[in-house]
Structure 1
């Protein structure tokens, strides 16, 4: 075992592993990396937990925490409310949507900036597309005015006529029913 024993003793003897030590220069030791990752996660969790333990915070801090939890549920419930309003009273809903078409472009930009900043969205990537859509919307002001007048006439006619349906009456007259 002379020569082979000497070579193996040089590589692995004395509690060392020269091959492993050399490989670790080029590749991370997976076990040590996992241990560092676990330590990092435990420290981060301890830091987060420290925020909510210890001395009880004041009413203002509790109020701000509550307010910070409201926007996403409010947006979700508000969107469902829009669907409900559209199904319940379509004319009322259409009139409100026509009003949105007349909101000035700077106000849309301001609202978009606030919402995108709050939710961390990348508003700048969609900026040109957003501006083009708003410009087209603003060009439809005269159409919106005509639509509002038509909706007003439709609403007045619907409430005055009650259950009357002129289209159905014309069809019945044409078909001899």
Structure 2
């Protein structure tokens, strides 16, 4: 760190984008909650010759709890509302999400660190509230993480994901 000043990372600098067709991902706007739960799966045991228990992480059941105010002409809201309202199931209720760290920009090409994954949409409620039509639910991991970068030509309203080379 030698002399560099640390900067606090704001929550608004980690932004989620949903796949809305082809290689385009649209920014997930209008969400009042989008929290990432890792739900680590542990292997815990105690050996007879040791006083303390040991734990190792052996997997994850990652999920996002979401809540959004429904807006028209928003492709993300339209897709999530369709899955909820039409009670769509199985792989038809899966979406791709790229989470972009806007605070980790490459100096050479303005790309940002990103992680992409497929999630199953697990709707909970819709219609809660009296001021706006609110949808709530969870997005549960349906694939492994794919690391890469995202770039944008419209000030991060949409982005394109590129998988990192091994």
Short-chain TM bin: under 0.3
Q: TM-score, normalised by structure 2?
A: 0.18
Higher percent of residues as strand: 2
Larger Rg: 1
Which structure carries more relative contact order (alpha carbon 8 Å, separation 6+)?
2
